[in-house]
Structure 1
Amino acid sequence: MGGAAGCGASAGDDKEPDHRAFALVGRTLTVDSDDSALEIVAAAGNPAGKVEVTRWFQGSVTLGKGPKVSWKMEGDRLTLRMECSGVVADCSARHRIEVPRGVTVKVEDGDGSVRARGFEDALSVRTGDGSVHVTDSSGPLAVRTGDGSVRADVSSRQVRVETGDGSVDLELGAVPDLVDSRSHDGSVTVALPKATYRVTTQTGDGSVDVSVPRSDSSSHVVSARSGDGKVTLKTAN
């Protein structure tokens, strides 16, 4: 068994993390990770054309392959891999990725949590199993996780969020043009700046509480849906 949340191994125990700078050609980056917790930061001080990556790793394998981690950059794709399989396998990896400002980022994580902050350009996050937390960002945001909660405290004008199993908690610092939020099994809470919104809500099994001003003619569109959970739309404090 392996993963960012292994039973025994903890990437945080790695006191001598590896560090590497990768050249980035262009203004887009795809982060392709199979099994790692990710922290992704748009760093104002980062040199243009450089992606700085720090890696923490702990692991042990009995009667199997590994443990081994690898990283490489091909074009605009940063690929992070962890090999940890055997009769007794316990591995944990974590990566911090610092991206120059002005880069559009797409994250594809198979199994692991994702934290991101500081993005003024478009950010897309997809993880099969893990929570997602985005802060201090204003570019278009799209998040999808198969199993995990989603939290975002952003000023993005367009937000699209979906989780298969987990809560959704959004707080918008600017009046959005579009918010599309959905949980198949979990509550959905959206806190919005003072304005009038065109609202759509739906829940299969739960209550709906909408306390923001509504108008079917508003250009600010907010949709909140839950298959099984409470839906709340409220004015941000």
Structure 2
Amino acid sequence: MIRTCTAAAGAIAVLACLTGCRASDGASNQEKRDFSFSGKALTIDVHDTSLTVVSDSAANTVHVERSLGGAATNDGNATWSLEGSTLNLHVECSGIVVSCDSEHTVRVPKGVALTVTGSGTPVRLRGLGGDTTATLKDSSLNVADPAGRLRLRVSGGHLKVTGATSSDVEATTTGDGNVNLTFTAAPRRVEVHASEVATIVLPEGPETYRLDGVRNAENLSSDPASDRSVVVRAADGVNLRKAG
């Protein structure tokens, strides 16, 4: 539909007219693209769009699906490119905007080490087997079923990890943000710095841990002789226990 505006007196009328002329704000696009990639480590730089990363792409290929709505469909507002080992996924809508919606799903080859950087975006990582590093601002991070080493840092949002078999995990929130970690295999090293509450659930089993920064674990005592360690610093409290 093509919508036109007639001249109107007064700033309020002009603003309403301009807003009504954003015909593309009701549009939506679904697109797919494959990028050739043969490296062992991939960086995704993402801004102002929802991102999901899963590990099930064909070898030597990074597959990207994106859904754009509203002003994000306008030419130049959403860009995607692979430059070297960095996949850039950026959405920027300026001016008078009724809606600017976007979601990206990235499928990466199994075992690829992943680094995610960006701002203003919720990020979900699913079933990644390689080492994972994430540095996000004004974002939330949700990681499910990771197996590799984790280095996660979120500013201004919550950080959640579930089903982890990772043996080495560092998780940090700054600004406002809880850290919530749940393991299904006993880790060797966990270090958490939470700007709000830290919750850590370790798996059932005979493993013991050296605890630092934990005063009252629900069903777990510190073992100074253990070769496994859990270090926690949290501004609003620590919840640590074994499952079961």
Give the CA deviation at 1:181: 1.1
Q: Is the 8 A contact 1:20 1:52 kept in 2?
A: yes
Counterpart amino acid of residue 163 in structure 1? T
1:69 to 78, 81, 84: 78
Establish whether residue 125 from structure 1 lines up as the match of residue 138 from structure 2. no
2:202 corresponds in structure 1 to 192
Which runs of at least 4 in structure 1 moved beyond 6 Å after TM superposition? none
Establish whether residue 217 from structure 1 lines up as the match of residue 217 from structure 2. no
State how far apart, in whole Å, the 2-side matches of 1:24 and 1:183 are. 35
Larger mean CA deviation between 24-33 and 210-219 belongs to 210-219
Structure 1: gaps of 5 or more residues? 1-12
Q: Is the 8 A contact 1:201 1:208 kept in 2?
A: no
State how far apart, in whole Å, the 2-side matches of 1:68 and 1:106 are. 24
With the length of structure 1 as denominator, give the TM-score of the two structures: 0.84
2:242 corresponds in structure 1 to 235
Give the CA deviation at 1:66: 6.2
State how far apart, in whole Å, the 1-side matches of 2:64 and 2:95 are. 28
User: Which secondary structure state, in structure 2, belongs to the residue aligned with residue 86 of structure 1?
Assistant: coil
State how far apart, in whole Å, the 2-side matches of 1:162 and 1:21 are. 33
Establish whether residue 55 from structure 1 lines up as the match of residue 62 from structure 2. no
Counterpart amino acid of residue 65 in structure 2? T
State how far apart, in whole Å, the 1-side matches of 2:35 and 2:125 are. 19
Structure 2: gaps of 5 or more residues? 1-25
Q: Is the 8 A contact 1:66 1:84 kept in 2?
A: no
Q: Is the 8 A contact 1:59 1:67 kept in 2?
A: no
2:184 corresponds in structure 1 to 173
Counterpart amino acid of residue 121 in structure 2? G
Counterpart amino acid of residue 30 in structure 2? P
**What do you get for the CA RMSD once the two structures are aligned?**
2.1
Establish whether residue 114 from structure 1 lines up as the match of residue 123 from structure 2. yes
Q: Is the 8 A contact 1:66 1:85 kept in 2?
A: no
Establish whether residue 159 from structure 1 lines up as the match of residue 166 from structure 2. no
Counterpart amino acid of residue 81 in structure 1? H
Q: Is the 8 A contact 2:153 2:171 kept in 1?
A: yes
1:150 corresponds in structure 2 to 159
2:5 corresponds in structure 1 to none
Instruction: Between the two structures, name the one with larger relative contact order (CA 8 Å, sep ≥ 6).
Output: 1
User: Which secondary structure state, in structure 2, belongs to the residue aligned with residue 51 of structure 1?
Assistant: strand
1:84 corresponds in structure 2 to 93
State how far apart, in whole Å, the 2-side matches of 1:132 and 1:158 are. 18
State how far apart, in whole Å, the 1-side matches of 2:237 and 2:157 are. 17
Compared with structure 1, are the counterparts of its residues 208 and 84 closer, same or farther at alpha carbon in structure 2 (3 Å cutoff)? farther
Richer in helix (by share): 2
In percent, how many aligned pairs have the same letter?
30
Q: Is the 8 A contact 2:71 2:101 kept in 1?
A: no
Q: Is the 8 A contact 1:39 1:96 kept in 2?
A: yes
Give the CA deviation at 1:60: 2.9
Establish whether residue 18 from structure 1 lines up as the match of residue 31 from structure 2. yes
Give the CA deviation at 1:130: 1.6
User: Which secondary structure state, in structure 1, belongs to the residue aligned with residue 108 of structure 2?
Assistant: strand
Establish whether residue 139 from structure 1 lines up as the match of residue 148 from structure 2. yes
Aligned residues: 214
